[in-house]
Each structure stands twice: as structure tokens, then as C-alpha cells.
């Protein structure tokens, strides 16, 4: 499955791209400023709800492989290089560069917390990738940036298109009985070399066709026009309010120490009703966005004002 944007009938894609980017920025902000791992889980769950409301949950969930790789690396590296913490769980030999190995429970917990933080940020960017039209985002650049926006859009489209073409070429070769996955690694790699040549030829043909299409539509011959004019509506105001509340909850919780979580020298976390309410805030707000999205699908009045 190629993790790329696909047009769907959902409220999140109907919003102004600046609105969705603001909502994503609020989630990234609270993930970066908060050390509490439970709040990171709440941010991930809220992002999952938004992905489900946009109809891209399956594609969004496929990013778990990236999160797992980054998380495991963080979980392994931090205990090896950190000597902080009072609860020693293993004393190892002396290793060049790293010195005497001492692994503490606090260092392991800190690595797990940082892995959760990275996973939250990665999954927020995954939501933006899957639910926001890249052309609309790059279209926010106006004036002198229009040429750069067009170049960036064409470049971003090249990667998933090339991957799809390569997959189709491999399937066509396998259907003709060509053994592509047998033999040594060198043999498998050698069987892919003709694919590179064909992919480059296909890319050049597509580039020529795109240039001819742009020329036939008068690109660069006069004042720039727009196929679709995006305006801010009532739903954008609601989404902006949700983003503002999420950011305010995270900042206020950190400033007041309600969401505090200390890894060193010993693990400690503040409990209480305020902490629970602040942790549940992203979930409640994301659930409200899900309900609003379902109402949007059934209401012509809301769809006309999106």
C-alpha cells in the first residue's frame, strides 16, 4: 500500500489546508513540550480518531513500521549511552567509547517515552500526508513562490508514481514467467537492473507529456488562474477552536506542572483529577471532530459551507 493522498468524501479534506495544518501543528506542539507518556498516548489516539474520520485509518496505521523502527532504536540507544537513574537493572563490561555499561530502569523508561513522542509526531505527519492535498498546501504559496510550489508538487508526485510503475512492471514480468526472486541476492539485484532503465524511460515520457499539457493550457503565458478557490467557513472556525484548545491544554498543563513526569533520578508522575482531565482533552476533542464529520456527511447545509 502506497502511503499517498487520495481524494475522499470526508470533512477533513473539505477544510481549508491551513486549518488542517494548524490542527496538526497543535498536536505536534503538545507532543514536543510534554514528557508525560500517557499524554503522548492520548495524542496518538486522537490522531487515530481523526484518521478514521477522514477514511484513511488503514493507510495511517501502516506507518507503524516506521514508528517501530525509530522507537526500537531509541529504546536501545538511550539506555546504553545514559548513566542517569538510581535503579540499576544491569551492570555490564567496559566497552570502548561507551565505557562501563550500566543500564538503569529510568534510562529504559526515558527511551520508551521518547519512542512514544517520536511515534506521535510521525503519526501526525502521516495524517497530514494522507488527508491533505499536497497541491492545496503548496498552493498557499502565492506570487513569486508559485513556480517553486509547482516544482515541489511535481517532485512529491514523482515518488509514489515511480513506485507504482515499478510495481506494475514487476507484476508484468512475473506474469510472463520471469524468475525475479530466485537465486542469490546479487542475482535478485541484477534482475532489477532492466527495471531501472524502463522506469527512467517511462518517467521521461511522462515528463514530456506533462510539459505538452502545461503548454497547451497556457502555463506561463499570462496571469495565473485557479481551478478551485478555497475559503474559510464555519467548519474551519470549529477546527481552529479545537486546535487552540489542544494547544492551550498542553501549554497550561506543562506550565502548571499538572502533566509533569520525571524520569530522573527516579520515576515520578503527578496524579489527580486535573491531570486525568487534561489527558482526556485531546481524545474528547477528536471524538467531537469524528461526530461532526459524520454529521457533515449527512448534511447538505454543512457541506455547502465547508
Alpha carbons within 13 angstroms on the beta-carbon side of residue 91 total 3
Domain boundary among 192, 216, 240: 216
In a domain, 222, yes or no: no
Helix (H, G, I), strand (E, B) or coil at 264: coil
Residue 63 lies in a domain: yes
Q: Is residue 100 part of a domain?
A: yes
pLDDT at 33: 94
As a whole number of angstroms, the distance between CA 250 and CA 215 comes to 50
Please identify, among 155, 189, 216, the residue that sits at the C-terminal boundary of a domain.
216
Is residue 26 scored above 50 in pLDDT?
yes
The answer on pLDDT for 55 being more than 80 is yes
pLDDT band at 247 (very low <50, low <70, confident <90, very high): very high
Q: What is the pTM of this model?
A: 0.75
248-288: per-residue pLDDT in tens?
999 999 999 888 888 988 888 877 888 889 999 999 999 99
Q: Are residues 264 and 133 in the same domain?
A: yes
Tell whether 31 and 108 lie within a shared domain: yes
Task: Kindly report, residue by residue over 212-235, the tens digit of the pLDDT.
Answer: 888 887 777 766 666 566 778 888
| Amino acid 226: pLDDT | 60
Q: Do 186 and 171 contact (CB within 8 A), yes or no?
A: no
DSSP 16-27: -HHHHHHHHHHH
Q: How far apart are CA 135 and CA 157, in angstroms?
A: 10
Whether the per-residue pLDDT at 1 is higher than 50: the answer is no
64 pLDDT band (50/70/90 cuts)?
Answer: very high
Predicted confidence at residue 100, as pLDDT, reads: 81
With both helix axes pointing from N to C terminus, report the angle between 193-216 and 146-175 in degrees, rounded to the nearest 10.
140
Specify whether 33 is located in the same domain as 130: yes
The pLDDT assigned to 223 comes to 67
Query: Is residue 226, in this structure, part of any structural domain at all?
Result: no
Question: Phi and psi of 123, rounded to 5°?
Answer: -70, -30
Among 216, 250, 275, the domain boundary falls at: 216
- Residues 75, 186: one domain? no
Burial class (CB in 10 A: 0-12, 13-18, 19+), 79: buried
Asked if 132 and 178 sit in the same domain, the reply is no
- Count the neighbouring beta carbons within 10 Å of the beta carbon of residue 194: 12
Residue 269: strand pairing partners: 261
* Residue 306 pLDDT > 60: no
192 part of a folded domain:
yes
Asked whether residue 223 is assigned to any structural domain, the reply reads: no
Count CA atoms closer than 13 A to 216's CA, side-chain side.
6
Do 260 and 118 lie in one domain? The reply is yes
Residue 305: pLDDT band (50, 70, 90) is low
**In the predicted structure, residue 12 carries a pLDDT above the cut 60:** yes
* Higher local confidence (pLDDT), 7 or 48: 48
Question: Do 120 and 268 lie in a common domain?
Answer: yes
Q: Are residues 243 and 102 located together in one domain of the fold?
A: yes
Provide the pLDDT for residue 118.
95
Instruction: Tell me if 224 is assigned to some domain.
Output: no
Quick one: 16 and 148 in the same domain?
A: no
Residues 54 and 149 in one domain: no
Domain count, the chain: 2
Q: Domain check: are 251 and 125 in the same one?
A: yes
The answer as to whether 225 is a domain residue is no
Domain hosting 151: range is: 142-216
Residue 180 shares a structural domain with residue 287? no
Amino acid at each position: 500500500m502506497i502511503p499517498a493522498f487520495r481524494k475522499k468524501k470526508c470533512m477533513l479534506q473539505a477544510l481549508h489546508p491551513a486549518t488542517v495544518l494548524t490542527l496538526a501543528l497543535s498536536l505536534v506542539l503538545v507532543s514536543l513540550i510534554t514528557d508525560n507518556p500517557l499524554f503522548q498516548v492520548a495524542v496518538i489516539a486522537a490522531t487515530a480518531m481523526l484518521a478514521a474520520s477522514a477514511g484513511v485509518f488503514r493507510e495511517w496505521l501502516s506507518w507503524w513500521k516506521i514508528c517501530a523502527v525509530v522507537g526500537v532504536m531509541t529504546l536501545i540507544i538511550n539506555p546504553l549511552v545514559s548513566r542517569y537513574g538510581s535503579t540499576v537493572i544491569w551492570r555490564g563490561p567496559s566497552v570502548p567509547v561507551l565505557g562501563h555499561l550500566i543500564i538503569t530502569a529510568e534510562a529504559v523508561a526515558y527511551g520508551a517515552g521518547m519512542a512514544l513522542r517520536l511515534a506521535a509526531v510521525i503519526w501526525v505527519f502521516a495524517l497530514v500526508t494522507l488527508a491533505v492535498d499536497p497541491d492545496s498546501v503548496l498552493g498557499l504559496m502565492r506570487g513569486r513562490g508559485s513556480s517553486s510550489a509547482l516544482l515541489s508538487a511535481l517532485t512529491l508526485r514523482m515518488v509514489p508514481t515511480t513506485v507504482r510503475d515499478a510495481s506494475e512492471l514487476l507484476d508484468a514480468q512475473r506474469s510472463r514467467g520471469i524468475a525475479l526472486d530466485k537465486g542469490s541476492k546479487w542475482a535478485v539485484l541484477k534482475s532489477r537492473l532492466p527495471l531501472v532503465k524502463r522506469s527512467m524511460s517511462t518517467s521521461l515520457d511522462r515528463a514530456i507529456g506533462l510539459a505538452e499539457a502545461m503548454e497547451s493550457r497556457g502555463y506561463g503565458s499570462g496571469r495565473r488562474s485557479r481551478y478551485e478557490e478555497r475559503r474559510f467557513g464555519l467548519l474551519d472556525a470549529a477546527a481552529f477552536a479545537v486546535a487552540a484548545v489542544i494547544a492551550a491544554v498542553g501549554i497550561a498543563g506543562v506550565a502548571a506542572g499538572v502533566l509533569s513526569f520525571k524520569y530522573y533520578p527516579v520515576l515520578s508522575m503527578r496524579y489527580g483529577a486535573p491531570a486525568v482531565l487534561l489527558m482526556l482533552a485531546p481524545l474528547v476533542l477528536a471524538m467531537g471532530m469524528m461526530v461532526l464529520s459524520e454529521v457533515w456527511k449527512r448534511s447538505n447545509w454543512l457541506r455547502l459551507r465547508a
